[in-house]
A and B are shown apart, each in its own frame.
Chain A
Amino acid sequence: MSDLKVVKTLDCSGMLCPMPVVKTKKAISDMEIGDILEMISTDPGAKPDMEAWARQTQHDLLETHDEGEKYRFLIRKTH
């Protein structure tokens, strides 16, 4: 893991599409610009979906970690 300062962690373990994306959107809405959200998902579909979500919303998907059973995403709110 990097030394980025995570402001909030959202655990979407056990949830399938579209919940990780929906929950991420809701969590980001409640944060300040520049804040970093950590999102954890067990859904393999969350990886391509989070990449697409970040491109569409233009928030920064800073890091994606594949930890076997789990994926960990770091997202910076940009607007």
Chain B
Amino acid sequence: MENGKRKLALISSRGTLDWAYPPFILATAAASMDWEVGIFFTFYGLPLLKKDFQASVSPGSNPAMPMKMPFGPEGFQNFNWPIPNLIANNIPGFESMATSLMKKTFKNKGVASIEELRDMSVELDVRMIGCQMTMDVFGFKREEFIDEAEIGGAATFLEFAADANVSLFV
């Protein structure tokens, strides 16, 4: 903790739409409270730093995910559609349909998009560290990532996190 500022250190390791939210929400909220914030994007979290990224939900791998319809009367919208795993996992196009329904539901309810939250993180000087090792493993290039991202490894993040007040792995 430098300059008496509180410090938040986050690890973002999952790239689905739903799991992309928590690190960006916490980062922007903390930065808005004048905290110093750093996020280490590693494994499946790393693509969230790409200039172009497509985060999807994965209902098949998360059976607890509620399926909501983003249109129609309120009772219809709030209804939780039971989707058997057999369908969620096996019907081609189900994931992209579920993703677009989820994005629409978020938007209708007034939740910012991941893109907006990331832009805000940049604006609020959130330090975003992309994992070099993950880049090497998946064959990503530096130029695929936003300019504001810095590239580093575990030691880079740990040095930042060493005196953090709050550290979370997402």
A-contact 0/1 string along B109-121, CB 8 Å cutoff: 1111000000010
Contacts of B35 in A (CB 8 A): 56
Contact yes or no, B111 A16, CB < 8 A: yes
Contact yes or no, A17 B32, CB < 8 A: no
Tell whether A1 is near chain B: CB-to-CB under 8 Å: no
Contact yes or no, B32 A53, CB < 8 A: yes
Which stretch (A2-10, A18-26, A31-39, A67-75) binds chain B? A18-26
From A19, which residue of chain B is reached at the shortest CB distance? Answer: B112
Query: How long is the Cα–Cα vector from A39 to B31 in the complex, in angstroms?
Result: 19
Chain B residues near A (Cβ < 8 Å): 6, 25, 28-29, 31-35, 109-112, 120, 123-124
From A53, which residue of chain B is reached at the shortest CB distance? Answer: B33
Contact yes or no, B34 A57, CB < 8 A: yes
**Chain A interface extent, by class:** 10 to 19
Query: How long is the Cα–Cα vector from A22 to B6 in the complex, in angstroms?
Result: 17
Contact yes or no, B28 A18, CB < 8 A: yes
Contact yes or no, A22 B29, CB < 8 A: yes
B-contact 0/1 string along A60-72, CB 8 Å cutoff: 0000000000000
Question: Given A21-B33, A22-B120, A57-B33, 6 other A-B contacts at CB below 8 A?
Answer: A18-B25, A18-B32, A24-B32, A53-B32, A53-B33, A56-B34
